Structure 1
Amino acid sequence: MTVATSKPRLAPRLSALTKIVELGPGRLDQKLLSEAEALLLLAGDRLKLSSEHTVVALAGGTGSGKSSLFNAMSGLELSPTGVRRPTTARTHACVWGLEGAAPLLDWLQIQWRHRFARASALDKGESQLHGLILLDLPDHDSIRALTDTEADRLIGLADLVVWVLDPQKYADASTHRRYVTELAGHEAVTVFALNQADRLAPEELAELVIDLNDLLRREGVEHPSVVPTSAVTGRGVESLKSVVAGAVSRRRAAIHKLEADLHRLMQRLTKSMPVGEALAAPASVDEARRMGLTDALCDAVGVPAVGEAMENVYAERSSQWVGWPYPRWVDKLRPDPIKSLRLEDIGDEIRGITTGSVSAQSAEVTNAVQALADGLTVGMHPVWNTAVHRAARSQLAQLPQALTTSLTEVAPQLDRVPGWWRALKVWQYVLVAGFGLGVAWLLAGLLLPGGLPSSLQLVGDTEALPWVGLMTLSVLGLGALSGIASRNFVELGASKERERLEREMRRRVAGIAEKMVVEPVETELARHHAFYSAMRGLSG
């Protein structure tokens, strides 16, 4: 399989990691975030460089025979050997097939004087190594901080690492603590060379190989590749070269290394942010929760109370215009219970219902916003739970005043008089005048000694008076019926006016809630959803 056909499998995972890095600040541990950024940078750089070369690093402690093994594998005396500490102070590189390798060697920061090339990549038995860049790293347990740092850097950059261990220190705690325990999932790009096998009897060597395998498995390396070698006698060198050649010929080591690095980082990310916890979290605020928030905020600012007060005032003021005048005049002679209820001041109260102290309303507004956030974050990771609550409260300080300002604009105009009220009042007073005229006619006809003047007699005193009485009673009945009908129409109008007012106030409350609460929350929920989608994408 070529690198070209393998990259598409890697590309989506790198894209997912890019998204995680983009969305992670403030949510992910900064150390994890920095490691993710470093891995993206490494992957981007490595994938832009030669895919025809495989970087294999020989890493080991002082005295492990690493440089001798490097010389044995290259067939040249390239790296100094001896007993000085450290023997290798600078990284040496041997390249099989130099064409196109220079940018990769520059990226690895290998000095020119430490770069070597085989005379021919087609030397007998060496064609299988064409494309190999073999590095002899500084000793990782060096007492020189500079070389120790360089070894760590190149171990992270190499496509395949060969750990050179000696029989005396193969279980060295520092090596296993600093490096081996981090190799879980890197089996495909990690080889262990148990060097200096010539110092051991066959039985001892076999026992050490078994012990090393067991030790590596206990530390998380499920399928360790252990090759016994001897740079002195050449034992196992060809076997090691064969293992390396397999990785080189497949041109897959760089991809395997990046996939392994991604896998290790993914495990740490998943431990920090378990994907399972996000499955039940909504990606947006559903309609039911929007309506619930609107209802709660309407209650918090007293929308039902305003509507009811408006309806009562509407009905009460109408009595001054459309009620049958005679009962109203009689009521004025009795104590007015309306004044004790202060209904005449309700108009001012409605206009000022949210303009005074809003401490109580603020508490209820806070409870409404809190309830929305609580419902959306059930089972959510604490970091995201906090973020959603913070988003919901981001404009909480301004929310009561925004509701106040908006609802004040739609407070009902209680001094508005519908035209039909005026027309009905004129009609009722016409009836009052007709009733009064009829009563006067009857009284004059009955009480005046000479009866009505001849100019006002219709048919005759005796015949006219019953008809006048009937007409007078009809006018009275018509006035009473018009008063009752008008009151019914007023009550219907008041109910419709209340519905219109509450509907408009609710619309405004919903708009403010959407802008100041729902939108910030949905932004955070979208970020949460995108983050965990990227986490699932990272897992492949």
Structure 2
Amino acid sequence: MTAVTDENPGQGRGRTRGRGRRTEAAGHPREAAGPDAGHGAGTGWDDGLIARRAQAAREEATPETTSEAVAAAEDDGRPQVEAYVSSGSPLRHRLDALRELVGLSRARLDRSALAEAGRVLDEAAARQRLSSRHTVVAIAGASGSGKSTLFNALAGAQLSETGLRRPTTSQPLACSWTDGAAGLLDRLAVPGRLRRRPQPGGAAADEALQGLVLVDLPDHDSAARGHRDQVDRVLALVDAVIWVVDPEKYADAALHERYLRPLAGHAEVTFVVLNQIDRLPGDAADQVLDDLRRLLDEDGMALGEHGDPGATVLPLSALTGDGVGELRELLGRFVQDRTAATRRLSADVDAAAARLRPVYVAEGRPGLGEQAREEFADRLAEAVGAAAAGQAAEREWRRNAGRACGTPWLRLWRWYEAARQPGSRDRAPLAAPPEERLTARQRVEQAVRTVADDAAAGLPGPWAQAVREAAVYGAQGLPDALDELAGRAGAAEGREAGAGAAGAEERGGSAGAAPGAGSGRGAGRPPRPAWWPAAVLAQVAMTLLQIFGGLWLAGQIIGVLEPGLLTPALVMLAGIIGGPLVEWSCAAAARGPARRYGQEAERRLREAAAACGRARVLDPVSAELVRYREVRERYVAVTEFSTTGR
């Protein structure tokens, strides 16, 4: 615990002691010496030179100095109250959501973007560990506004120095109406020599102000930079603030632009008092007060009029006491409500959430729709040549159908043509030219950029960048993977086509294999329609008719058989005409199965390319979108009770 300094007015020197610290001397523990030993210490001291000097100092001290020492002593002797925000309160839920939000966002957002939220969490944790019985209210204002005079009027004693010299207040001065506020004042870095208690009787006896800790701040427009820094530091830590303005500086741009406008969301813990109304003649005070309310409304600060929540605005004269009683009454109700700290923390969370809104709230409904996914799959299928592969498979099917159902003379001619070109059966498919491979790679890159832009459309900047990076990183090996996929499909097509050409004659009319397009069937034969055996038998019958008719005619010519050219000629003609007719019929009947086979080959290659793109690009992009939705839900939880969860 921070040490407290008790100043001895008679000697002009101070002694620093740690509260509750025990020491060992000659094997016997004792309490560290302190002026409050007779009140709250376990073992007191009442002899020795130091004790007699301290007693003389207390007898000779002025009432103000005595109140200062008693305040420091009693603050040190009282325990602090911890964790005043209940676990089920809306503020606790918002703080937990903000903590989760910061944790989920650290890997995606800059540290500067989360700095304010982190500060709010730290300050909330620090305030929740301290007394819930006290309300810390700061009095702030410009030089010459009379804030120190108002501080003394509320305390009922001349505690803060006033005068014409500027700046008069150089360090924060605190006055606590009750004990146990040491931790709060330590947090504000108010030294022990500047901690006071109100004058006994009068203000000190006001029950409504029990629990109030009033802090007089330096001038916010002081020429000394250190004074302004102290004002900014303390204003970020107190539970409420009383802004004191005077008729000359109530419209000062420094006050409105630097403090009131940025703190407009803290209206419920803000008091704005127009001091020195005794200097305004007639109804001038009402006119100035109306203009002050107008300026506050332009600042965005809600005014608590007609029972509505908002800032309290009232006129007074700290010098004559006019209106001070009303302010004291309002402060009493405010302190006894004991919700100022919770309201202040809730307003801080609101301010942090408002600053984070641009990095969490998207325009529209971002994400990957079904149409974007289909367009990405279409672009990959185009890059891998799925349509061309399907057309090639259809042509090969029809070619194999022609080989299986064609006339023997046509098959014999094809065999002769194949025999004239050695190695044509085992020839591998030609690789795509480098220009075509380059074009396909560019198509893949374009498809990735397009789907990344579609997914990132409407997202806040950091999350849109994360989505694009996930897409680009996942697509680094996608063109090579698609090239390998297309190569496997082309190799399978070449193997099956060669096997079909080589074995069509040997199988006696059975269908050759068509390209599998990555189906994984190897070099096996494609499925055949049920009518193919009948077509093959019909072609065999037509061939037998030709042979039978030819032998019959040959027998008649050489005289082995009786002459009668008409019948064998008709039989032979039927075989000659019937063979091409069967081949033509088979070709017509094969169009439908060939088309379906080509479509199936295209579909398999398209699905393989889409699966590759989904695993490498769409899944990482979807993961980033899911992460964004998670933090978006946390952000909604932070802002859910921003107006009603106080």
TM superposition score category, shorter chain reference:
0.7 to 0.9
User: 1-side partners of 2:256 and 2:550: how far apart?
Assistant: 121
User: 2-side partners of 1:242 and 1:29: how far apart?
Assistant: 46
The structure 2 residue matched to 1:219, chosen from 268, 281, 299, is 299
Matching of residue 306 in structure 1 with residue 306 in structure 2: no
How many angstroms does 1:525 deviate by? 3.1
How many angstroms does 1:185 deviate by? 3.2
Deviates more, 1:374-383 or 1:498-507: 374-383
Matching of residue 9 in structure 1 with residue 9 in structure 2: no
The structure 2 residue matched to 1:415, chosen from 495, 501, 506, is 495
User: 2-side partners of 1:470 and 1:198: how far apart?
Assistant: 136
Cα root mean square deviation, aligned? 4.5
How many angstroms does 1:114 deviate by? 2.8
Counterpart position of 1:157: 237
Q: Per the alignment, in what secondary structure is the counterpart of residue 192 of structure 1?
A: strand
Contact 1:309 1:346 in 2 (8 A): no
Q: Per the alignment, in what secondary structure is the counterpart of residue 157 of structure 1?
A: coil
Higher helix share: 1
Contact 2:404 2:504 in 1 (8 A): no
The structure 1 residue matched to 2:150, chosen from 54, 69, 72, is 69
TM-score, structure 2 length as denominator? 0.66
Contact 1:16 1:534 in 2 (8 A): yes
How many angstroms does 1:309 deviate by? 1.7
Matching of residue 281 in structure 1 with residue 362 in structure 2: no
Contact 2:138 2:241 in 1 (8 A): yes
The structure 2 residue matched to 1:191, chosen from 271, 276, 279, is 271
Gaps of 5+ in 2: 1-82, 304-310, 511-535, 641-646
The structure 1 residue matched to 2:485, chosen from 396, 406, 411, is 406
Counterpart position of 1:181: 261
How many angstroms does 1:137 deviate by? 1.8
Change (3 A) 1:141 1:69: same
How many angstroms does 1:470 deviate by? 9.8
Residue identity opposite 1:360 in structure 2: T
* Cα deviation code 1:59-110 (max 9, x no counterpart): 12333332333233223444344444433332222223323x3333332222
Matching of residue 40 in structure 1 with residue 40 in structure 2: no
User: 1-side partners of 2:550 and 2:285: how far apart?
Assistant: 139
Change (3 A) 1:421 1:532: farther
Change (3 A) 1:140 1:493: same
Change (3 A) 1:42 1:485: same
Matching of residue 498 in structure 1 with residue 582 in structure 2: no
User: 1-side partners of 2:273 and 2:88: how far apart?
Assistant: 30
User: 2-side partners of 1:82 and 1:475: how far apart?
Assistant: 131
Change (3 A) 1:298 1:30: same
Counterpart position of 2:183: 103
Deviates more, 1:493-502 or 1:287-296: 493-502
User: 1-side partners of 2:201 and 2:438: how far apart?
Assistant: 84
How many angstroms does 1:257 deviate by? 1.9
How many angstroms does 1:152 deviate by? 0.6
Q: Per the alignment, in what secondary structure is the counterpart of residue 182 of structure 1?
A: coil
Q: Per the alignment, in what secondary structure is the counterpart of residue 64 of structure 1?
A: coil
Contact 1:6 1:255 in 2 (8 A): no
What is the 5 A alignment of 1:351-500?
352-353=431-432, 357-373=436-452, 375-376=454-455, 388-411=467-490, 412-416=492-496, 417=499, 422-425=506-509, 438=548, 442=552, 445-446=555-556, 451=560, 494-495=594-595, 497-500=597-600
Counterpart position of 1:510: 610
Identity in percent = 34
Contact 2:198 2:204 in 1 (8 A): no
Contact 2:393 2:598 in 1 (8 A): yes
* Cα deviation code 1:220-239 (max 9, x no counterpart): 33425334444444443332
Counterpart position of 1:522: 622
User: 1-side partners of 2:84 and 2:201: how far apart?
Assistant: 21
Change (3 A) 1:76 1:531: same
User: 2-side partners of 1:7 and 1:444: how far apart?
Assistant: 109
Change (3 A) 1:14 1:4: closer
* Cα deviation code 1:190-218 (max 9, x no counterpart): 11233345555565544543443343334
User: 1-side partners of 2:575 and 2:268: how far apart?
Assistant: 108
Counterpart position of 2:344: 257
User: 2-side partners of 1:242 and 1:7: how far apart?
Assistant: 31
TM-score, structure 1 length as denominator? 0.77
How many angstroms does 1:241 deviate by? 1.9
**Larger relative contact order (CA 8 Å, sep ≥ 6):** 1
How many angstroms does 1:273 deviate by? 6.4
Change (3 A) 1:220 1:346: farther
Contact 1:14 1:40 in 2 (8 A): yes
How many angstroms does 1:55 deviate by? 1.0
Counterpart position of 1:79: 160
Counterpart position of 1:291: 374
Residue identity opposite 2:484 in structure 1: T
Counterpart position of 1:209: 289
Matching of residue 242 in structure 1 with residue 323 in structure 2: no
User: 1-side partners of 2:372 and 2:568: how far apart?
Assistant: 69
Q: Per the alignment, in what secondary structure is the counterpart of residue 39 of structure 1?
A: helix
Contact 1:301 1:354 in 2 (8 A): no
User: 2-side partners of 1:207 and 1:234: how far apart?
Assistant: 21
How many angstroms does 1:147 deviate by? 2.8
